Structure 1
C-alpha cells in the first residue's frame, strides 16, 4: 500500500495576537501548533500554558508579537472553577484517583467566612501534579512514580474571590469559584484548600480561564470556528502586536529620530520618566518597539526589525482592502 504523501504547508509572515478559547483536553502547545498551521504562520508562541483540562483564554503570539509575549507572563488571571465537595483525589482534579471521601454539611454562611481567609496575599504549596521542576525533572513525573517531593510554600495573591454553592446536574454538592489572582496561583490547590477549610475536602471538576491581563473570554475565537473560516477571515481575527502593550506609555518619533531609535540609539526629549514605553514612528504610523524613559532619555528595549515593520504594514493594508 502506497503511503499518502504529506502536504507541505507554505509558511508566510504573520504578525499579531490571536485570542483562542482553548478547548478541553488539548495542551497549550498543541493548540498553538494547530492555529499556526491554520494561519500558515512562520513564527509563533504563547504567553504561558493553560492545563489540558482547562479551557478558556489563551493568547497566541505570531511573528513580531513573540518579542513581547514575555511581558504577558506576569499578567493577572481570572478563573471560573467548579469543585465537588466531600471527595479528595490524588491530583486535585477529576483525573486523579479518589483518596478520601467525607460527609458534606456546608452552608453559604460558612463559605463566606472561609472566603475571607483566602482573599489577599496567601501562601500555597504547589501540587505534585504540576510542571514545576526539581533537578531537571517535572514534579508530575515524580508523582507518577509514587515519589513525594517536599515543596516550599509560595507567596501568591487572590485579588478577588467569589465562592457559592453550585447548582449541578448530579446529586453531588459542589461550589463555584471565581478567582482573580496573581501569576503562579494554582486554582486546583485553591479548591482543595477551600474544601479543607470547609471540613470536607474537594477537587476540581471544571476549570475555565475567563481573563488574562486585559484579554477576556468574550474576545476569543474557538478552534472549531477558526477551522470553518477562510484564510482572510482567520487573519482578521488577529489583534495588532501592540495589543500586548496596553499599559505602556506611547511615544511617537519623527522620521529621523525613528530611524536612529531603530538602530538602538538613545533619543532625548521632554518625556516624563516611565518604565514601560511603546515607541511609534510618525510616518508611516507603526510600532517600533519598547523602551524606558530616564531623565528625558528614551532608552531602547525590544525593537522590531525594519522587515517586521514592513510586513506588519503590508498585512494591515491587505486587511483594509478586503471587502466587508
Structure 2
C-alpha cells in the first residue's frame, strides 16, 4: 500500500478573487535503503533534521543513530530502510567531539542556554598550563558521570528535562563512561577548546563542568560539534542546505550502503543455497574462528544479508534483512532460496 505524506491531497478550495486553489500534490513514499551522513545545523533537533531528510528522499522508513542537542552541530548518521536494522551499532560506537568551554561560570544546564548559578571568573587567571594538564589527565580513562538533569533520560515515563524545567531535582545514579582521548586544542583567557573521543553515553556538558571543577573555577559548554561516530567522519557529511538544493537523484547518490555502519567487521560470503538458508534464520557450519560480529553476504551478486556471530564453527544470525530488502539492495528479481 502506498504511504503518503501527512499533507495529502485536499479538496479544491476557493482562492482569492473567486478562483480555485490547486489541491496539494500527493507525495508518494518509497523504499530507500542506505545511510546518509548529515552535518546537522545549529538550532535543529535531531528528529526535525531526520524528518526533513526523510521527506526530501520520500523514504518510507528512517531513523537516526544518536541524538544531538539543538545547540550542537555535526555528524548525524541517518538510516533508511534496511540500514535501520543496524542503527544500534552506530549508537554503541565511540564518538568524537570538538567542544568550546567558557571557564569561570557554572550554569543550570551545563551549557550557554542555562542561567549562571556560580560565577568564579576571578579564579580563571589562576589557571596554569600545569593545572590544565592535570585536570585533563584526571578526566582520561574510565570515569563516573552523573547524567545532567537537562537530558532526555526518562524517570517514571518523563524526560529529566521536564522535571528540571519544573524546578524538580531527581536523584540520578552515576554511570561509568570511558574518555579515550581529551586534547587541548586552544586556550585563550576564559575560552578553552578541546577534542574528546569517548564511549557512548558520555555527556560532554557534564565533562565540561567536571573539568571546570578540577580547575577550581567552574565551566560550561558554549559550542559542541560531533566530528566522528565509529568509522564515520563529518568530513563525509552533507549539509542540510546543500541537500535541499539537490534533486532527488543527487540526494540518493549520497547514500552509503547499510554495511557502512558495520565498520571493519570481518565479512563472510555464502553461496546461493547457503545464503537462502541463512536468510531463513538457520545456523550454518563454517570453518572460521569465533567472532562476536561479522557481516554476511550472498554471492552473484554480492549483497548484504545481515549480521551474525561465529561460535564453535557455527554462523549464527543476529540481524537479518528481509527478502524484499535484499532484493532492493541487489536490484535482482530472483532471491537465494533454501534447498
- Shorter chain as denominator, the TM-score bin is over 0.9
Instruction: Give the 3 Å change call, closer, same or farther, for CA 132–283 of structure 1 in structure 2.
Output: same
Q: Which moved more, 1:197-206 or 1:2-11?
A: 2-11
Q: 2:11 matched to which residue of 1?
A: none
Match of 1:294 in 2: 311
Candidates 181, 202, 225, aligned match of 1:160: 181
CA contact under 8 A between 1:108 and 1:165: conserved in structure 2? no
The structure 2 residue matched to 1:99, chosen from 107, 117, 121, is 117
Is the partner of 1:73 in helix, strand or coil? Answer: helix
Contact 2:148 2:206 in 1 (8 A): yes
Residue 5 (structure 1) shift: 4.4
TM-score w.r.t. the length of structure 1 is 0.92
- Please name the residue that 2:266 is paired with: 249
1:216 corresponds to 2:236: no
Q: Is the 8 A contact 1:108 1:164 kept in 2?
A: no
Asked whether the 8 Å contact 2:230–2:263 carries over to 1, the reply is no
Report the equivalent of 1:319. Answer: none
1:52 to 67, 70, 73: 70
Q: Is the 8 A contact 1:111 1:164 kept in 2?
A: no
Distance 1:254 1:8, change over 3 A: same
- 2:285 corresponds in structure 1 to 268
The answer to whether 1:240 aligns with 2:257 is yes
2-side partners of 1:222 and 1:162: how far apart? Answer: 27
2:6 alignment counterpart: none
Q: Distance in 1 between matches of 2:35 and 2:69?
A: 20
For the structure 1 residues 89 and 65, does the alpha-carbon distance in structure 2 shift closer, same or farther, using more than 3 Å as the test?
same
Deviations 1:86-127 (A, max 9, x none): 111111111111212111212222111111110111111111
Q: Residues of 1 paired with 2:312 and 2:130: CA distance? A: 54
Equivalent position of 2:140 in the other structure: 119
Which of 72, 78, 85 is the aligned partner of 1:67? 85
User: Which structure 1 residue ranges, 5 or more long, are not aligned?
Assistant: 316-324
Cα RMSD between the aligned structures?
1.5
CA contact (8 A) 2:185 2:195 kept: no
Preserved CA contact (<8 Å) 1:88 1:100: yes
Kindly state the Cα deviation for residue 151 of structure 1 after the two structures are TM-superposed: 1.2
Q: What displacement does 1:225 show?
A: 0.7
Q: How far apart are the structure 2 equivalents of 1:60 and 1:259?
A: 29
- Distance in 2 (alpha carbons) for counterparts of 1:164 and 1:245: 30
Seen in structure 2, the aligned counterparts of structure 1 residues 4 and 140 have a Cα distance that, compared at 3 Å, is farther
Candidates 84, 90, 94, aligned match of 1:76: 94
Structure 2 portions without partners, runs of 5+:
1-13, 16-20, 333-339
How many Å separate the matches in 1 of 2:207 and 2:96?
13
Aligned residue for 1:8, secondary structure, equals coil
1:72 is displaced (CA, Å) by 1.6
Greater Rg by CA: 2
Give the structure-2-normalised TM-score.
0.88
Instruction: Kindly report structure 1 stretches of 4+ aligned residues shifted beyond 6 Å.
Output: none
* In structure 1, distance between residues paired with 2:108 and 2:139: 22
- 1:322 paired residue number: none
Partner residue in 1 for 2:10: none
Measured in 1, the distance between the counterparts of 2:286 and 2:221 equals 53
Matched, 1:144 2:165: yes
